[in-house]
Amino acid sequence: MEVLVLNEGKRQNSQHVEKRCAVSPGAAKRMVKKGISLHIERGAGILSGYSNGDYIDAGATMIDEPAAALPEIDMLLCVNRPFPEHVAKMKAGAIVVGHIDPFFQQAAVESLANQQLTTLSVEMIPRSSRAQKMDALSSQASLAGYVMMLQAANHLPAILPMMMTPSGTIKPAKVFVIGAGVAGLQAIATAKRLGASVMAYDTRAVVAEQVESLGGKFLKIDIGETGQTKDGYAQALTEEQKAKQQDAQRDAIAAADIVITTAQLFGRRPPLLISKETLSLMKPGSVVVDMAALSGGNVEGSIAGEITHVHGVTVIGTGNWSQRVAKDATDMYANNLLNLIQEFYDEGTQSFNVNLDDDILAHSVITHNGSIINEMLKNAYSGA
């Protein structure tokens, strides 16, 4: 099987330069050992701390001009969506793997289908025990939680732990985390390690125990039935529930030095959690990190890709969190892809077995044989 990895950092878009690489030298070595012929565009690992030599030592071939290789390859491993100029050169039946963002990229998904490519969108990998090792959303969200907390701490004009000195006693900073999923729990753990006093809220009451096991307090808000989907995702709230949540968390936000919002709704725009009016109740110099800023925002006034100030509060919406620790992000993402390939690689035919009866591929393969085949996506595109 011929596999290609592009240097995504070389091709910038307006919002960010991709620092991660879809394959680490460690994962490359294991792919090559399986008999995979791995081609890597020169420089692909540089921004995550890996030299071309690291990949050559792992058994990969470096290439300078992907255009020539694209028509021959069986699989393109990406961090993001493939670039249109690359899609256009790929042969029918080849497989593309990456963060496709399919709910919000209908035109790109249609062009992948039109090109007769089999597209595996890593965001659609199910949250099952078997798929955990391939779960790129979780691996990147864990790092994001850590990074967001450190960024907040760097912008706060205060320290986080309690400090007792002859010059006076400093109280621990108060951190409030809204959304205690994968990223939120890592943000809580990081805040605790830094000595802060932590409170958290999530509409899924089942996570209260996890927050408490990390040393945080769970804010209890009675907004009635909320629940979660069978995949463990939050359900959207009614307008009345949203209003109740915003009222009940106002005091916790006003008292906090740092607020981190991580609320997402699978396949939809993230919910708005904090209004400008609530921001105005916070102390000047407080910091809010809006994890969802790039996809619509949890915080009114946050700006995608930027750090801004609203009523004296620093609002961080830079996004691309895991890229700030690109080496670990690359290692974890590359392991996710390696595990995916190992699960479906057929040693006999030396090919990736697109078995659509398998639960993992049935969820995550979104285009195949010229069509969009995922029902959730088809419904979303048709407005159903």
Backbone angles phi, psi at 59, to 5 degrees: 105, 5
Site string for ligand NAD, 77-116 (x = CB under 6 A): ----------------------------------------
Taking CB under 6 A as the binding criterion, the range among 5-13, 128-136, 150-158, 166-174 that sits at the site for ligand NAD is 128-136
262 binding ligand NAD? (CB under 6 A): yes
In this complex, which beta carbon is closest to ligand NAD, that of residue 206 or of residue 356? 206
Active site residue 11: no
- Whole-number Å distance between alpha carbons of 258 and 239: 26
In this complex, which beta carbon is closest to ligand NAD, that of residue 178 or of residue 259? 178
237 binding ligand NAD? (CB under 6 A): yes
Q: Catalytic: which of 24, 48, 138, 249?
A: 138
Q: Which two tokens stand for residue 34?
A: 């399986």
Q: Catalytic: which of 54, 116, 127, 241?
A: 127
**CB 376 → ligand NAD: shortest distance, Å?**
14
Active site residue 127: yes
233 binding ligand NAD? (CB under 6 A): yes
260 binding ligand NAD? (CB under 6 A): no
In this complex, which beta carbon is closest to ligand NAD, that of residue 8 or of residue 202? 202
Residue written as token pair 């890597």? 40
Sites for ligand NAD among residues 300-329 (CB under 6 A): none
141 binding ligand NAD? (CB under 6 A): yes
In this complex, which beta carbon is closest to ligand NAD, that of residue 44 or of residue 182? 182
142 binding ligand NAD? (CB under 6 A): no
Measured in residues, the chain has a length of 384
335 binding ligand NAD? (CB under 6 A): no
22 binding ligand NAD? (CB under 6 A): no
**CB 219 → ligand NAD: shortest distance, Å?**
10
Q: Which of 89, 133, 204, 327 binds ligand NAD (CB under 6 A)?
A: 204
Active site residue 37: no
197 binding ligand NAD? (CB under 6 A): no
In this complex, which beta carbon is closest to ligand NAD, that of residue 98 or of residue 179? 179
- Whole-number Å distance between alpha carbons of 87 and 35: 25
Q: Which of 16, 42, 127, 155 binds ligand NAD (CB under 6 A)?
A: 127
Catalytic residue numbers, as ranges: 127, 132, 135, 138, 233
Q: Which residues bind ligand NAD (CB under 6 A)?
A: 127-129, 132, 135, 137-138, 141, 178-184, 201-204, 207, 232-234, 237, 245, 262-266, 271, 273
